[in-house]
Chain A
């Protein structure tokens, strides 16, 4: 099937197998490898992106469902020279170690802050329970999200 979608502001058209997942299109067709695959049961959240302004796990979206959608991935929210406040907060608060969960965690956290202000520690923890991190114990991630909330 042929789909067209806008990813990080650029329109793409692709002919894809019907059973393609959105994450496969993002990683393999568009070579946007910042979106990661960490599980096969939609539990880990490493593949979290924004679709039409909402965070979704891109391993759980068929490419066909994204036809016509506006997609933002980690590569689309900021650059090294102009970081998104959430990216900056992750760096400032040492909210990442191996970096594998980080793109998905940042994308979830941005959506959480944009949708759920004002957040406190408990609501951040509950809001991020769909994203797994094995390195940080979440302590500094929670700090970073609360920090970014004040700057977004």
Chain B
């Protein structure tokens, strides 16, 4: 039984039956009797003072029920949208957190910022009402360019120089000394392009209120409904936590963008209470482009100091990170604790120093997007390493091997605050080199040249830190919440099992993976286990799904709760078998007395727990349901080697990925089919960043790439087939030995593509995304 559906088996997904038949249940599929519709009125200006908002014409329209402005929310003491991670500057001062009202009150600071909400009987009436809201603005000079934002017009009164914080990590003196003694220094100016997440399901919310009970229910597109509830209750003051139920039903992808608490669902749930009825809102894709939190957007000067033999002696990084107009929920942590801490990569670089200045601009807020800081760190390190290899005439694989942290070095303390528990980086690199046929590259390059094409190969050996994090470490570094996870394993009278988790599945397949774990451990059929997630009314608490944490933190909590169920069951079984706990073995769903033929099955024990005839009621409570909270001891450290081979058409600048190999060490794997799928999707996003995607604001602050006609999403014919494989060094500190796989593809691949492209062209750098025009210009030396 367990061999086909247990841990390690490529089990087909439970959730697929509803998705392939059109029976998925997404927020926009939810309708309530008599519901109203909300439409937001959004700023056309990147920066302006609101002189007046006249809602009278809108209110006079047929079917318009209410029009709310920021002043209405403020009058009800609805609080600002908070940032959940306090980062401190070099001088010890707190980061600047400017006011961020859900609906703008006196100032708008990016195109798309909502300044009014129209609620009407029909969606069409709400749209018409939104057109009729008349606002008068005084336009102010917009700060758009990231590089000059620090010295530009001040956006927020609280933030001189538009600076949010000026953060550092590492030993500056030791790093400077390493550079002074180095034989060679490789330097790069790196732009990490702004991306727009574009989960295929647009954000949506249905807010409900029952006056008689005072209960609120919010259906919304969230990766972490408990956190959403916490923020709406504790910071925004919508309702007490106990009066607010947040449900994230089927959610159509997140990639980070649905972690955050946004203006729209905040205003919808507040207005539902105000009007005493259900209100629905769904973003148009144009709104998603304007008002979902964007990702990446760094400018970096990076230097790697080496000995003549290629040994790394120091790394110095200075980054300016774009926060956008306001601090989104986890924005401050992305370019600091999720970026600077990863700059050691897979290498024994002894001295590292990083400075990050985060600044405000009149653009949409920037926050975590798949990988969140780690793709940016990997891009810096792996572009530098490849460039250094070229400058020193070294093989890119060999220079990495020379500097790899070796298996015997673990646990390895990096100069940037992390302790890697385990890994075997050369094992992944070796496998990737074999799979891509590195030996044959020279011949393939010659064939390409004969056909008038340029071919290049690029490596990227990434590391990431997943499973955020020991709560006390995170809290000491400024996190506003603990980062444990909860689980409940509820055994029914008849032996079927419900597993409640605080993680949320929006494509990751938790309903399958988590059921595999529990059925394997309890020795019961996979079909007898149901996983429940996404509803604050059904699971105790949870921090949600992001940072590849669900299996390693949430799965570990499930293991812990399952172990408690087994421990209690063993006591019951010992009683029923007239033996002692110590003499009762549990294997494949059966309790048996050691060295005897007496046994009893898990469902029989479960039945006895609820029908306690033959049951030790003097020692044990009846029932069989256990809860657990798991707080990780450390991050997990997935790592791997990605190798990309490209062919460029010099006539057109078109780049074709002709070969892509990803070999990842995710520790122990529960479902290899799902893991490969996670890698494929991540690779597409990483390749998309390298070749296609770019969120562009023009000089005046208008979003130029505001639709699928303008923002280049990866399409089926843009992508290659991928070769993905794994190596395994089990995580040393969680019960599954797993490390997480959700972000690796997006973290490792971008540098591999750009290293391959620069190799093909024989240039130091090409800006991302490397569109045909950009490549053609690079070839022309522009």
Chains A and B are bound partners? yes
**A128 interface contact, C-beta 8 A:** yes
**A96 interface contact, C-beta 8 A:** yes
The answer to whether A129 touches B715, judged by C-beta atoms less than 8 angstroms apart, is yes
**B251 interface contact, C-beta 8 A:** yes
Residues of A within 8 A of B678 (CB): 97
Q: Which A residues between 30 and 60 are near B, CB-CB below 8 angstroms?
A: 32-41, 43-44, 46
The answer to whether B20 touches A139, judged by C-beta atoms less than 8 angstroms apart, is no
The answer to whether B29 touches A33, judged by C-beta atoms less than 8 angstroms apart, is yes
Q: Which B residues between 18 and 58 are near A, CB-CB below 8 angstroms?
A: 18-26, 28-29
**A9 interface contact, C-beta 8 A:** no
User: How many Å lie between the Cα of A138 and that of B716 in the bound state?
Assistant: 6
The answer to whether A90 touches B680, judged by C-beta atoms less than 8 angstroms apart, is no
Residues of A within 8 A of B13 (CB): 91, 94
Residues of A within 8 A of B450 (CB): none
Q: Which A residues between 54 and 84 are near B, CB-CB below 8 angstroms?
A: 73-75, 78-80, 83
Residues of A within 8 A of B730 (CB): none
The answer to whether A94 touches B716, judged by C-beta atoms less than 8 angstroms apart, is no
Q: How would residues 280 to 316 of chain B score, 1 for a CB under 8 Å from any chain A CB and 0 otherwise?
A: 0010111000000000000000000000000000000
B23, B506, B716: residue with the most chain A Cβ atoms closer than 10 Å: B716
B229 to chain A, nearest CB (A): 22
Residues of B within 8 A of A122 (CB): 717
User: How many Å lie between the Cα of A97 and that of B677 in the bound state?
Assistant: 8
The answer to whether B674 touches A94, judged by C-beta atoms less than 8 angstroms apart, is yes
Residues of B within 8 A of A96 (CB): 16, 19-20
Residues of A within 8 A of B715 (CB): 128-129, 132, 138
The answer to whether B681 touches A135, judged by C-beta atoms less than 8 angstroms apart, is yes
The answer to whether A40 touches B285, judged by C-beta atoms less than 8 angstroms apart, is yes
Q: How would residues 687 to 726 of chain B score, 1 for a CB under 8 Å from any chain A CB and 0 otherwise?
A: 0000000000000000000011100011111010110000
**A140 interface contact, C-beta 8 A:** yes
Which residue of the partner chain A has the closest CB to B28? Answer: A37
The answer to whether B20 touches A106, judged by C-beta atoms less than 8 angstroms apart, is yes
The answer to whether B719 touches A139, judged by C-beta atoms less than 8 angstroms apart, is yes
Residues of B within 8 A of A138 (CB): 680, 684, 714-716, 719
The answer to whether B199 touches A134, judged by C-beta atoms less than 8 angstroms apart, is yes
User: How many Å lie between the Cα of A43 and that of B714 in the bound state?
Assistant: 12
> Which of the residues B201, B282, B674 comes within 8 Å of A100, measured between beta carbons?
B201
The answer to whether B200 touches A133, judged by C-beta atoms less than 8 angstroms apart, is yes
The answer to whether A75 touches B22, judged by C-beta atoms less than 8 angstroms apart, is yes
The answer to whether B26 touches A36, judged by C-beta atoms less than 8 angstroms apart, is yes
**B683 interface contact, C-beta 8 A:** yes
User: How many Å lie between the Cα of A133 and that of B716 in the bound state?
Assistant: 8
Residues of B within 8 A of A43 (CB): 707-709, 713
**B252 interface contact, C-beta 8 A:** yes
B1 to chain A, nearest CB (A): 21
Report if A91-B20 is in contact (Cβ < 8 Å); known contacts: A41-B708, A97-B509: yes
Report if A44-B22 is in contact (Cβ < 8 Å); known contacts: A137-B681, A139-B722: no
**B345 interface contact, C-beta 8 A:** no
User: How many Å lie between the Cα of A36 and that of B253 in the bound state?
Assistant: 14
B662 to chain A, nearest CB (A): 11
> Which of the residues B21, B252, B708, B716 comes within 8 Å of A75, measured between beta carbons?
B21
Which residue of the partner chain B has the closest CB to A86? Answer: B20
Report if A74-B717 is in contact (Cβ < 8 Å); known contacts: A39-B707, A94-B677, A136-B680: no
A25 to chain B, nearest CB (A): 14
**A2 interface contact, C-beta 8 A:** no
User: How many Å lie between the Cα of A91 and that of B23 in the bound state?
Assistant: 14
The answer to whether A97 touches B716, judged by C-beta atoms less than 8 angstroms apart, is no
**A142 interface contact, C-beta 8 A:** yes
**A92 interface contact, C-beta 8 A:** yes
**B363 interface contact, C-beta 8 A:** no
The answer to whether B716 touches A131, judged by C-beta atoms less than 8 angstroms apart, is yes
The answer to whether A126 touches B24, judged by C-beta atoms less than 8 angstroms apart, is no
The answer to whether B683 touches A137, judged by C-beta atoms less than 8 angstroms apart, is yes
Residues of B within 8 A of A37 (CB): 28, 202, 282
User: How many Å lie between the Cα of A145 and that of B69 in the bound state?
Assistant: 49
The answer to whether A32 touches B24, judged by C-beta atoms less than 8 angstroms apart, is no
**B451 interface contact, C-beta 8 A:** no
Residues of B within 8 A of A149 (CB): none
The answer to whether B684 touches A137, judged by C-beta atoms less than 8 angstroms apart, is yes
**B673 interface contact, C-beta 8 A:** yes
**B12 interface contact, C-beta 8 A:** yes
Report if A137-B680 is in contact (Cβ < 8 Å); known contacts: A41-B707, A99-B252: yes
The answer to whether A74 touches B21, judged by C-beta atoms less than 8 angstroms apart, is yes
A105 to chain B, nearest CB (A): 9
A46, A73, A99, A131: residue with the most chain B Cβ atoms closer than 10 Å: A99
The answer to whether A99 touches B721, judged by C-beta atoms less than 8 angstroms apart, is no
- Majority SS at the chain A contact face: loop
The answer to whether B681 touches A134, judged by C-beta atoms less than 8 angstroms apart, is yes
A-side interface residues, number (CB < 8 Å): 55
B239 to chain A, nearest CB (A): 28
The answer to whether A134 touches B719, judged by C-beta atoms less than 8 angstroms apart, is no
The answer to whether A134 touches B680, judged by C-beta atoms less than 8 angstroms apart, is no
User: How many Å lie between the Cα of A90 and that of B13 in the bound state?
Assistant: 11
User: How many Å lie between the Cα of A140 and that of B200 in the bound state?
Assistant: 17
Which residue of the partner chain B has the closest CB to A103? Answer: B22
**B255 interface contact, C-beta 8 A:** yes
The answer to whether B708 touches A44, judged by C-beta atoms less than 8 angstroms apart, is yes
A40, A46, A78, A134: residue with the most chain B Cβ atoms closer than 10 Å: A134
User: How many Å lie between the Cα of A96 and that of B202 in the bound state?
Assistant: 17
Residues of B within 8 A of A97 (CB): 253, 507-509, 677-678, 681
> Which of the residues A38, A46, A99, A134 comes within 8 Å of B19, measured between beta carbons?
A99
Which residue of the partner chain A has the closest CB to B19? Answer: A99
User: How many Å lie between the Cα of A2 and that of B226 in the bound state?
Assistant: 46
B247 to chain A, nearest CB (A): 16
**A7 interface contact, C-beta 8 A:** no
User: How many Å lie between the Cα of A102 and that of B683 in the bound state?
Assistant: 19
The answer to whether B24 touches A100, judged by C-beta atoms less than 8 angstroms apart, is yes
**A113 interface contact, C-beta 8 A:** no
Residues of A within 8 A of B722 (CB): 137, 139
**B198 interface contact, C-beta 8 A:** yes
Q: How would residues 17 to 38 of chain A score, 1 for a CB under 8 Å from any chain B CB and 0 otherwise?
A: 1000000000100001111111
User: How many Å lie between the Cα of A67 and that of B683 in the bound state?
Assistant: 43
User: How many Å lie between the Cα of A141 and that of B255 in the bound state?
Assistant: 19
**B75 interface contact, C-beta 8 A:** no
Q: How would residues 466 to 507 of chain B score, 1 for a CB under 8 Å from any chain A CB and 0 otherwise?
A: 000000000000000000000000000000000000000011
User: How many Å lie between the Cα of A41 and that of B253 in the bound state?
Assistant: 20
The answer to whether A99 touches B21, judged by C-beta atoms less than 8 angstroms apart, is no
**A121 interface contact, C-beta 8 A:** yes
The answer to whether B721 touches A100, judged by C-beta atoms less than 8 angstroms apart, is no
Which residue of the partner chain A has the closest CB to B26? Answer: A100
A126 to chain B, nearest CB (A): 5
Report if A98-B506 is in contact (Cβ < 8 Å); known contacts: A34-B24, A38-B200, A103-B22: yes
Residues of B within 8 A of A128 (CB): 715-717
A23 to chain B, nearest CB (A): 11
Q: How would residues 502 to 540 of chain B score, 1 for a CB under 8 Å from any chain A CB and 0 otherwise?
A: 000011110000000000000000000000000000000
User: How many Å lie between the Cα of A40 and that of B678 in the bound state?
Assistant: 27
B40 to chain A, nearest CB (A): 15
**B581 interface contact, C-beta 8 A:** no
Using a CB–CB cutoff of 8 Å, the interface residues on chain B facing chain A are: 12-13, 15-26, 28-29, 124, 198-202, 250-253, 255, 282, 284-286, 506-509, 673-674, 676-678, 680-685, 707-709, 713-717, 719, 721-722, 745
8 contacts between A and B (CB under 8 A): A27-B29, A32-B22, A33-B26, A83-B21, A91-B12, A100-B26, A125-B717, A142-B721
Using a CB–CB cutoff of 8 Å, the interface residues on chain A facing chain B are: 17, 27, 32-41, 43-44, 46, 73-75, 78-80, 83, 87, 90-92, 94, 96-103, 106, 121-122, 124-126, 128-129, 131-142
Known A36-B252, A91-B17; further 14 A-B contacts with Cβ < 8 A: A36-B26, A36-B200, A39-B708, A41-B708, A43-B707, A75-B21, A98-B253, A98-B507, A100-B201, A101-B252, A133-B200, A134-B713, A135-B507, A136-B680
The 7 closest A-B pairs by CB, nearest first: A34-B22, A100-B252, A99-B19, A137-B684, A98-B507, A43-B708, A97-B507
